[in-house]
Amino acid sequence: MQSLLSLCAVQVTRHQTLACRALASLPRELYPALFQAAFMYGRTLVLQALVQTWPYPCLSFRQLLPKPKQLGWPERPRKESVQAVILALLAAPRRRPQLRVLDMTGFLDASCGQDPTTMSMWARSVAVARTCLSAQTQARAAQRLAKRRKLEPQAPVTNPVEVHTDLLVNRTSYSVLKEALQTSTCGPLRLRCRDLWAEELSGPSTVALLELLDPVCLRQVDLRFNNLGLSGLCTVVPHMAKFTHLLSLKLQYSNVDVRRLTAEAENSFQHFVSAIGQLRCLKELNMGSSRLSGRLHQLLSSLQGPLESLELPFCALLPGDLSYLAQSPHATHLKKLDLSGNKLSGDFLGPFQRLLREASASLLCLDVTECQLMDVHLVSTLPALRCCTHLRYLGLYGNPLASAGMKTLIEHSQTFRELQLVVYPVPVDCYKDLPWPPSSANLLEGTVDEEKLASVQAELQQLIRATQHQDVLWTMDIYGHSSFDYFSL
């Protein structure tokens, strides 16, 4: 429920012209509440006036905006609000004398791509870049005008505003973002990147961007669909050593396969391992869809400290990889573990269970989607899984589990007092003519007996209610919920 102050701020900002006139006479303590109301309800005139007269050194979205789904507020802010804040930065510096940092980080809405009323991360990145370029153009125009009028030349910018943001870069936006990063080093708006997401960029283009980023501000690098291969990663990763606060590195879909390496490729792998080892603060690593069979020990033993988040989906892991991980220093520190798409049955089951026991004190998120786990494997794993008493998320989608296995899991779920979300598969006894054992494709494309599924779901929901743990979401929808980001754990 909104506070009385928030409700009053919502009413005040409804009358935008009057609210703008009144700002000069309002105490500075009201600015945060007015900004929150104006932003969430799209009061763009008030937003621009607030930014231009902001009475504090820092304006942070993360500190000021309500948390997602907080009662009383719109579910998502409108894109007009983001645009208004960005455009307000083009005001003359004297109109925002106190503001030194605009922090727009952490404003990632995973579903914004499907909602035309919101502003995507890509669009925000481009808008911020163009605003920085426009501010620099204005500053240069003012210098030229002063020179023509033989006025006292303006001093270089002494009170620039640092714009902290997360950037999503692809081939379409690469040029404008690169130019903005190049020119903002001495302009009135200084672009600072916290999390960099780069898609479908070449190795040289990625290196060129990394060279322009502030070595202190960068927290995460996410390179996806770049098809860099080992040789490309050997070119890119060494340039990350300068980032002293780099905590997260994601290299999914990088076209890495270490199973049958040539002598040259083996040298590239050793070079890559050495470069990863230079990242002193690394806490999260994602090597999704890299074929790492039998080489996990070499990769992870080079790191200078234990990881807290390890994502290895579809990495063709071997039992020896899981055994190493269970015995490694990383196991007891893991908060998030993603082993999706790796076989965990048969010879893999024992090492996997040992890994769970070692990680049990710290593990919060476990994703074992499409891991060929049947009822017998799940029941066998329950003693180890129940040791993970702090578990918040469990991903089981795409496994050939029957309704009996799901009922057993639900009956034992009271152990997980912090559990928030379980994504489970359509039970195999709800399919028509399913081959056995079924592949992931069979489970995805097979014909479901909708009547049987409805009956089974009713039984599962009744069992969930009996556990008196009804605040946990049990769902078969793998996409209809927010992911558990490492930095939010």
pLDDT of 469 reads 76
Q: CA distances (Å), 245 to each of 100, 167, 220, 241, in order?
A: 22, 17, 9, 10
Position 112 scores a pLDDT of 42
Position 82, amino acid: V
Q: Where does 331-486 show beta strands of DSSP type E?
A: 336-338, 365-367, 393-395, 421-423, 473-475
Going from the first residue of the chain to its last (489 residues), give the mean pLDDT of each consecutive group of 10, the final group possibly shorter.
Answer: 84 92 92 93 94 93 78 72 90 71 76 62 92 86 71 62 95 96 89 95 96 96 93 96 97 94 94 97 97 97 97 98 98 98 97 98 98 97 97 97 96 93 96 91 93 95 85 90 86
Q: Is 55 within 8 Å of 95 (Cβ atoms)?
A: no
Q: What is the C-alpha to C-alpha distance for residues 312 and 104, in angstroms, rounded to an integer?
A: 30
| Element containing residue 96 per DSSP (H, E) | none
Contact 313, 288 (CB under 8 A): yes
Assess contact for 300 and 276: CB atoms under 8 A. Answer: no
pLDDT at 458: 95
pTM of the model: 0.93
How many CA atoms lie less than 13 Å away from 475 in the CB half-sphere?
A: 12
Provide φ and ψ at 391, rounded to 5°. -60, 130
227 touches 255 (CB < 8 A): yes
Cα Rg, the chain, nearest whole Å: 26
What residues pair up with 250 in beta bridges, in sequence order? 222, 286
Q: Which fold has domain 306-477?
A: 3.80.10
Instruction: Give pLDDT, residue 118.
Output: 75
Grouping H, G, I as helix, E, B as strand and the rest as coil, residue 168 is strand
Q: What does the pLDDT read at residue 113?
A: 47
Distances in whole angstroms, Cα of residue 374 to Cα of each of 3, 37, 46, 456: 49, 50, 57, 17
Residue-range domain boundaries for the chain:
4-94, 306-477
